[in-house]
Amino acid sequence: MNDDANEFAGAPLLIGDMNIAGRLYMSAGGGRGIIYWDDASSKPEPEPETVTDIHDEGAQGLLMYPNPTTSTITIPNAGTLRSVTLLDERGKRISSVRIQGDNAIVSLKDLPAGIYLIELVDHRGSTTIRRAVKK
């Protein structure tokens, strides 16, 4: 840190680098000083971005319908999966789902309304989590 001690109205005041990308300055005028911060950055602040979707390679091509549901969710083309597991909203295992032929049927029939997670594991071991809503 490179600080210079300067006197202002008889009291010492430290002015200099602030260990951040910027510098603190003081200018005196009429017995009063003005202190200001120069952030030493010529770049404008980035605009915040809104996330509207998450691209997930493992989830491509896997549909789940109907979602939300009142009883079951069908996952067509599930023959490419090693396992399908139904989880509660905290990630606790509720049940394993049997893959029958090319489809997996996830039953939410006896569960209360809420949000559940469906864990899909493909033959390479990649895991994808999808959200399911029970009305």
What is the extent of the structural domain holding 104? 59-134
CATH code where residue 75 lies:
2.60.40.10
In a domain, 27, yes or no: yes
Structure token pair of residue 4: 């210079």
Domains: count for the chain: 2
Tens digits of residue pLDDT in 111-132: 999 999 999 998 888 899 999 9
User: CA–CA separation, 17 vs 19, rounded Å?
Assistant: 6
Task: Give the percent of the chain with pLDDT over 90.
Answer: 41
User: CA–CA separation, 134 vs 111, rounded Å?
Assistant: 8
Looking at the fold, whether 33 and 67 belong to one and the same domain comes out as no
In a domain, 10, yes or no: yes
- Burial of residue 132 (number of CB atoms within 10 Å: 0-12, 13-18, 19+): buried
Looking at the fold, whether 122 and 89 belong to one and the same domain comes out as yes
Global pTM reads 0.56
Looking at the fold, whether 66 and 26 belong to one and the same domain comes out as no
Looking at the fold, whether 80 and 30 belong to one and the same domain comes out as no
**Cβ(106)–Cβ(42) under 8 Å?**
no
Looking at the fold, whether 72 and 122 belong to one and the same domain comes out as yes
Tens digits of residue pLDDT in 20-54: 455 555 555 555 556 555 555 555 666 665 544 44
